Amino acid sequence: MPPTREEANRTMIHTVLCGYGHMGKLIAQAIDSSDDMMICGILNHQSEMTLLKQHVDLLFDFSHPDNFELVERLVHRSNCALLMGTTGFNDIKYQRLCDLGETHRVMASANYSLAVAVMGKLVKQAAQLLREEFDMEIVELHHRDKQDAPSGTARQLLELLDPDQQYAALTGRNGMIGRRGKEIGIHAIRGGNAAGEHTVLFLGEDEKLTISHTAISRKIFVNGALRAAHWLLHQKNGFYTIEQMIGGN
């Protein structure tokens, strides 16, 4: 006999979404189309107490840093895993997010594209080989509605270029700025409905190396997030990155 609806529900991965904007709706559609996940609800101040009474395996957060206290409480009280896609945290909240990994399974990434994760590995390797002789710049392009600038992915790329913070990070140049110093420029372009484009330039004497990624659709982030969610649920408690999932350090 086929399983009853109740039996099937017990074997499903019970998820909650925090944030029901464009990305949240795409994740919801993907979950609805999956055969092993179901949505228990959307986390907000009105639904929090109801969701705390339910079994939750995993919380997706693609919302806003202001919702972190809600997310933090649900993770602690439901003992669920957390897949974090929200960017723009201040240092204090980001440390609290990292601390959740001491007692829960947590993954945080500004970008869940697998190709962007590979791009990061290439950028890191190129920087190690070229940074002493080449100038480095980052350019990112996003849709008109994006809230933060530079993007979280651009900030991650900056960390890969300059892990020891030996360079000044400039988010704009204007006027008589003089000769370039020991700096990395980060340029944010906003407009249209662009899903996202990131480019790292290594500029040397008579040569230029460009490493670039273009997102044609936000579906790549959704596919990566669901893949990461399945991977995370098979890990021990800890704070993870998508680079670890694809075999990085």
- Mean residue pLDDT across the chain: 92
Q: What is the CA radius of gyration of the chain?
A: 20
Contact assessment for residue 239 and residue 98, using Cβ atoms and an 8 Å cutoff: yes
For residue 85, give both structure tokens: 């896609």
Calculate the dihedral angle through the C-alpha atoms of 210, 185, 116, 141, rounding to the nearest 10 degrees: -100
Segment 153-165 mean pLDDT: 94
Contact assessment for residue 90 and residue 112, using Cβ atoms and an 8 Å cutoff: no
Segment 97-113 mean pLDDT: 94
Segment 91-105 mean pLDDT: 95
- pLDDT surpasses 70 at 6: no
Angle at 121 between CA 116 and CA 127, to 5 degrees: 115
Q: How many CA atoms lie within 13 A of 96 on its CB side?
A: 14
Segment 222-247 mean pLDDT: 93
> Of residues 129 and 194, which shows the higher confidence score?
129
For residue 27, give both structure tokens: 């994740």
> Of residues 11 and 128, which shows the higher confidence score?
128
pLDDT in the model for residue 110 = 85
- pLDDT surpasses 70 at 104: yes
pLDDT in the model for residue 218 = 85
Quick one: which of 221, 30, 27, 193 has its CA closest to 110?
221
Q: Rounded to whole angstroms, how far apart are CA atoms 50 and 61?
A: 18
Cα-to-chain-centroid distance, residue 132: 29
Segment 150-174 mean pLDDT: 93
> Of residues 1 and 80, which shows the higher confidence score?
80
Q: Rounded to whole angstroms, how far apart are CA atoms 10 and 60?
A: 20
Helix (H, G, I), strand (E, B) or coil at 90: coil
- pLDDT surpasses 90 at 142: yes
Which residues are part of the catalytic machinery?
142, 146
- pLDDT surpasses 80 at 4: no
pLDDT in the model for residue 2 = 44
Segment 194-208 mean pLDDT: 96
pLDDT digits (tens, 9 = 90+) for 24-75: 999 999 999 999 999 999 999 999 999 999 999 999 999 999 999 999 999 9
Calculate the dihedral angle through the C-alpha atoms of 125, 231, 70, 149, rounding to the nearest 10 degrees: 30
Quick one: which of 117, 142, 116, 103 has its CA closest to 23?
142
For residue 97, give both structure tokens: 């997010």
Q: Locate tokens 């993770």: which residue?
A: 75
- pLDDT surpasses 50 at 212: yes
Indicate the pTM of the whole model: 0.78
- Count of residues making up the chain: 249
Q: Rounded to whole angstroms, how far apart are CA atoms 153 and 143?
A: 14
